[in-house]
Amino acid sequence: MERFEYTAETTGTRLDVFLSEKQPELSRSHIQKVIESGGALVNGKAEKSRTKLKEGDIVSFTLPDPVSVDVLPEDIPLDILYEDHDVIVVNKARGMVVHPAAGVYNGTLVNALLHHCEDLSGINGAVRPGIVHRLDKDTSGVMIAAKNDAAHVDLAEQIRVKSAHRVYWAVVCGNIAEESGTIHGAIGRSQKDRQKMAVVLHNGKDATTKFKVLERYGDYTLVECRLLTGRTHQIRVHMAFIGHPVLGDPKYGPKKCPFAIEGQALHSKSLTFEHPVSKKEMTFEAPVPEDMQRIIDSLRKRQGIK
18 CB contacts (<8 Å, ≥6 apart)?
Answer: 4, 6, 53, 59
Q: Are 3 and 52 in contact (CB under 8 A)?
A: no
Residue 92 CA to residue 80 CA, distance in Å, equals 9
Classify 34 as helix, strand or coil. helix
Residue 23 CA to residue 25 CA, distance in Å, equals 6
DSSP string covering 167-207: EEEEEEES--SSSEEEEE--EEE-SS-TTSEEE-SSS-B--
Concerning whether 136 is annotated as a catalytic residue, the answer is yes
Which amino acid belongs to residue 228?
Answer: L
49 CB contacts (<8 Å, ≥6 apart)?
Answer: 14, 15, 16, 31, 32, 35, 36
Instruction: Please tell me what DSSP assigns to residue 261.
Output: -
Q: Which of 8, 31, 25 is nearest to 203 (CA)?
A: 25
Q: Which helix (H) or strand (E) holds 270?
A: strand 266-274
Residue 185 CA to residue 233 CA, distance in Å, equals 13
Determine the angle formed by the axes of helices 28-36 and 15-22, rounding to 10 degrees.
Answer: 120
Q: How are beta strands 140-146 and 266-274 bridged, if at all? A: parallel
Residue 183 CA to residue 265 CA, distance in Å, equals 19
**Active-site hit among 136, 138, 154, 249:** 136
Q: Active-site residues: which are they?
A: 136
